[in-house]
Amino acid sequence: PGADMGLPPYDPEDAYCQYPTSLLHIEELCASIVRSHRETSQYRVEELQALRWKIFTREEIQMYHSKSVDEMWQLCADRLSDAVQYVVEFAKRLPGFRQIRQNDQINLLKSGSMEVVLVRMSRLFNTENSTVFFDGKFAGTEVFKSLLCADLIMAVFDFAHSMSALRLTEPQVAIFSALVLINPDRPGLEDRGRVQRLRKDIELALSHILHRDNQESLVHRLYQKVPVLKGLCSLHIDKLHWFRQLYPLTVHTHFPPLYKELFG
Which residues contact ligand CLR (rule: CB under 6 A)? 42-43, 73, 76-77, 79-80, 83, 117, 120-121, 124, 132-134, 144, 147, 156, 236, 239-240
| CA distance readout (Å), 141 to 3, 61, 70, 128 | 53, 10, 18, 14
Shortest separation between residue 239's beta carbon and ligand CLR, angstroms:
5
Nearer to ligand CLR, 79 or 137 (CB): 79
In whole angstroms, give the CA distance from residue 116 to residue 144. 21
Smallest gap from residue 139 Cβ to ligand CLR (A): 7
CB of residue 186 to ligand CLR, shortest distance in Å: 21
**Closer residue to ligand CLR (CB): 37 or 199:** 37
Q: Which is nearer to ligand CLR, 7 or 45 (CB)?
A: 45
Least distance in angstroms from the C-beta of 8 to ligand CLR = 36
Q: In the complex with ligand CLR, which residue's Cβ is closer, 141 or 207?
A: 141
The residue (of 39 and 185) whose beta carbon lies closer to ligand CLR is 39
Nearest distance from C-beta of residue 70 to ligand CLR, angstroms: 11
